[in-house]
Structure 1
Amino acid sequence: MAAERLPDLLETTYRSDLNLFVGRWGYQPPIEVLPHTYKKLTQSALATGCRFWLQDIRRRTLNDPAITRWLFTEYFLDMAAQLGGRLYVAYLTSPTLLEIIINGPGYEVPHASDYQPFAVAFFSNEGDAMEWVSQAQTRDSLA
């Protein structure tokens, strides 16, 4: 019997009509595959040059504190520098994962990163996430 092929972990798309880089995560990955997946994410994002991201992680079920720490202390800083401006990342999560993230150690409310070269916010509704990105684009264009 042939092994069942898992769906791709990450599908990326650049929506030029919205100036939006979208990453849709297909399932909860083992932690050891994340470095390779973030390398793919980086390559795709840099190819678009887009600083406005929607990361759909609704199919993920846990939040690894070490990965979160790395994202906030290294990855987002590096991506903002490479993309040449402030990076805006809206995470679309399931309500359950959103509760885990908000109640987890080290969670900061979105305005806490006002002086960082990146801004991150979490949503369980795609419309709210898109509105946040749209407002960020407007603020960024006025700056």
Structure 2
Amino acid sequence: MRVTTQLSVFLENRAGVLAKVAQDLARHRVSIRALTVANLADHAVVRLVVSDTRRALHLLGERGVLAFTSDVLAVEVDASGTLAEIARRLGRAGVNIEYAYGSGPAEGGKAVIYLHVSDLKKARGVLRPKPRSPRRRRR
């Protein structure tokens, strides 16, 4: 688990707009690692995790596109039930998952789920792996 930065981009909800943004990012060698799109009538909120957040934000700003950053948890998942366990632990701690989205595994890698939570600091503490205590030898 790690904290990473996502972009929230506000776009007109019409054909070709997302394609233009994706092409501009690709042209400037910014890779899209994860993406989700939420429809809001005449606009869409596109949330992205990219290879170079600073460059993407600058590029979008130059084109007059409203975008801002926020921190999300990036959690690698490699087994069934991982999300259920994460949600259970966060729920017990009173941390709400406000939204989530994922990306498939890169070749040989693991899938990643991105979580925007109500309390990032608390969530990190809840999900941080506990150190294992050394095993005692039996005599």
**Is TM more than 0.5 here?**
no
Which has more strand, going by share of residues?
2
| Bigger-Rg structure (1/2) | 2
Structure of greater relative contact order (alpha carbons < 8 Å, 6+ residues apart): 2
Which has more helix, going by share of residues?
1
Q: What is the TM-score with the length of structure 1 in the denominator?
A: 0.26
